[in-house]
Amino acid sequence: MVEFNNFLITLDGYIGGAPWFPMMLIGAGIFFTIYLGFPQFKFFGQGWRILSGKYIKDSTKGETTPFQALTTALSGTVGTGNIGGVALAIWVGGPAAIFWMWITAIVGMTTKFVEVSLAHKYRITLNDGTISGGPFHYIEHGMNMKWLAILFAVLMMFSAIGTGNMPQINNIAEVMNSEFSIEPLITGSVLSILLRLVIVGGIKRIATIASALVPTMGLIYITGSLIVILDNYQNIIPSFHAIFSQVFSGSSAIGGFLGASFALALQKGVARGAFSNEAGQGSSPIAHASSKTEDPVEEGIVSLLEPFIDTIIVCTITALVILSSGAWSDKHLNTFDKTSTVIIEGVYSDTTVKGDVNESDVTELRKYINGQK
């Protein structure tokens, strides 16, 4: 697992951690926003009306309602990214990272609108009567690039394993182990059984359960968060000031926070925003493709609500909890064993080239172990 984790870190350095990533993601969103006439603002109210299901007809083709499709997509976005992702963005990029998460969400609303509309337009009905749709379908049938559709499907499987499963199950297992002393293997086994019971019923069962769990989960989380925010009400305005005042200047060191540059705030804000709302990732269109809407654009309008709910609302609430409580800049004293010391500069060798004892390095290491360094 150590080697696999190192591989993922290296891969992230070329993708999510690379300078081109925020430029491509935000750039695509800005292009579609301008080209389509700012649909995230123009159709925002219409999205809520379609979500109510008032436009559904008995003859409308599909397996899920717009609300079920939205909650199914949100079930994959509202979660770890809204909590750990926001905390990581602030910890590494400072409060200004939240601003760039908002920007990513606003332009991501248009990106989501485009990819979902295309997925709904090019969806197909399988032999068993179920609906199948997603980027792999509109890449193959809309762009006539089957090889790219296959490549996307393969990469999406890796993405589902990585961002779609590993952070979630890892966090759950760690909490259950640290708080209730339940072995990670037991936690993983139980969740695997529960997941099996859900997905074996197909998109209809997934959508039915998601439409019940996601609103409940969101309500509980938002209620708990508001309690913390209101308890620190005097820090709400300073929290927003910390976000906006450091957007282009970077964040200076304070307390246990070491500071962050503008570039780092931008990169972490965009990366965490993308992880949170998944706009442009291609996962949400798969869920929305089965929705009962007359026109593909209608489902696209519903989908643009996702980044708003996920990032503008939930992530902002998480950010206010972290900033208003002061947790982001608190210093935490850590106790390390002497053997936990890691020498990060130079190369240690207990022997010389000739095979003799390297007195210099050995003496230096003893100083670290005995606390003299």
Same domain, 46 and 110: yes
In a domain? residue 17: no
Same domain, 253 and 352: no
In a domain? residue 260: yes
Same domain, 165 and 256: yes
DSSP 56: -
In a domain? residue 134: yes
Write out the two tokens for 216: 């409940």
Cα Rg of the chain (Å, integer): 24
Same domain, 184 and 264: yes
**Count of domains for the chain:** 2
Same domain, 209 and 353: no
Same domain, 307 and 355: no
Same domain, 101 and 199: yes
Same domain, 262 and 191: yes
In a domain? residue 14: no
In a domain? residue 3: no
- Host domain of residue 350: 338-369
Residue listed under structure tokens 């997934």: 206
Give me the pLDDT at residue 331, please. 53
Q: Computed from CA positions of residues 267, 268, 271, 274, in that sequence, does the dihedral angle turn out positive or negative?
A: negative
Same domain, 169 and 188: yes
Q: Decide: 63 and 204 in contact? Cβ < 8 Å.
A: yes
Give me the pLDDT at residue 220, please. 92
**Which residues are registered as beta bridge partners of 162?**
none
Give me the pLDDT at residue 72, please. 86
Q: Decide: 286 and 275 in contact? Cβ < 8 Å.
A: no
In a domain? residue 6: no
Low-confidence residues of the chain, pLDDT below 50? 252-260, 336, 338-339, 344
Listed residue (146, 151, 191, 135) closest to 168, CA to CA = 191
Q: What residues contact 252, with CB distance under 8 A and at least 6 apart?
A: 246, 259
In a domain? residue 158: yes
Report pTM.
0.76
Same domain, 185 and 54: yes
In a domain? residue 154: yes
Q: Decide: 75 and 210 in contact? Cβ < 8 Å.
A: yes
Same domain, 138 and 54: yes
E strands of the chain, at which residues?
124-125, 131-132
Q: Decide: 177 and 187 in contact? Cβ < 8 Å.
A: yes
Same domain, 218 and 360: no
Give me the pLDDT at residue 147, please. 94
Give me the pLDDT at residue 264, please. 58
